[in-house]
Structure 1
């Protein structure tokens, strides 16, 4: 199972992000993330055996219970990598509990090797072929993070499909 922990914004924020995505629809080379799948990844666990699910559920529950609900702001857009040919178009996420959640999940699962350093963001689109950079946008969207989700990512021909396995309420 390919797993990760994430925070999903509410539907009204996903709809507003979808409006921002519309500005790149005419640009060839960009594949938009599906609105209902827009999320902030806290920790990518990668490919894991199904028998570890109880452990991942326990950790998600314990870590989420330690952090109170908090406000998240989605600000300006950017690219990964920051220079050269971009692969990902994202919106930067900030919030008092984001770093804490990511760090505590990583510490609790130190036996899981993770490659990426935590950069709080929400992916709006990925590059499929040569694509132009889109000018910067400031979204200024806010929402209250109330839960952390354990998510399974299933790779399909059309792209990754996400299935929330469990949701853990924050503090």
Structure 2
């Protein structure tokens, strides 16, 4: 079984900018995402067999979408500031439309539709929650609430494989899908 998801990989310059930001969160109990693992998840698919992956690839090749720009800006946490588990940087642009098309294609082969999509880049995971960590997160949110990191051109998305290791997840591209 292969753990899979659909995502947009970020340009190297954007990963550099995000790394500078995550350095500000460095604290025991907060695990920053590794620089090479920054991405925008469009849909998590879960554990798949090889034959299922072939069906997924075939469906994803049916997607016809134009290149577009994304603005990387703002910050927040999931599920809430009081119970933060994920720290993220926001993304604005045509992603919801692309995700809707992906959801439609995946539903055609039996995947359940996601209830809600919130475009973001996960930059850290909160492992424990004490006063010092809550204060660090609140400070981060105040400082980066209105951050504008820049724009990136999106002309593809990828089916990715996630291998969980002791050092954290390792992501590999199974297939790239380029916009026309």
How far 1:135 moved relative to its partner?
2.5
Q: Distance in 1 between matches of 2:36 and 2:140?
A: 24
Q: CA RMSD in A?
A: 1.4
3-state SS of 2:61 partner: helix
Partner of 2:75: 77
TM-score of the superposed pair, with normalisation by structure 2: 0.87
Partner of 1:101: 98
Partner of 2:62: 62
Query: 1:167 and 2:158 equivalent?
Result: no
**What aligned pairs does 1:139-158 form with structure 2 within 5 A after superposition?**
139-158=148-167
Q: Distance in 2 between matches of 1:39 and 1:94?
A: 14
Partner of 1:22: 23
3-state SS of 1:113 partner: coil
| Mapped contact 2:6–2:43 kept (Cα < 8 A) | yes
Deviations 1:37-95 (A, max 9, x none): 100011111111121111111122221xx111100111111000124220000011111
3-state SS of 2:83 partner: coil
Q: Which runs of 5+ in 1 are unaligned?
A: none
| Mapped contact 1:45–1:114 kept (Cα < 8 A) | no
| Mapped contact 2:5–2:161 kept (Cα < 8 A) | yes
| Mapped contact 2:73–2:150 kept (Cα < 8 A) | yes
Partner of 1:128: 127
Partner of 1:11: 12
Q: Distance in 1 between matches of 2:21 and 2:13?
A: 13
How far 1:170 moved relative to its partner?
1.3
| Mapped contact 1:32–1:126 kept (Cα < 8 A) | yes
| Mapped contact 1:44–1:114 kept (Cα < 8 A) | no
Q: Distance in 2 between matches of 1:114 and 1:145?
A: 23
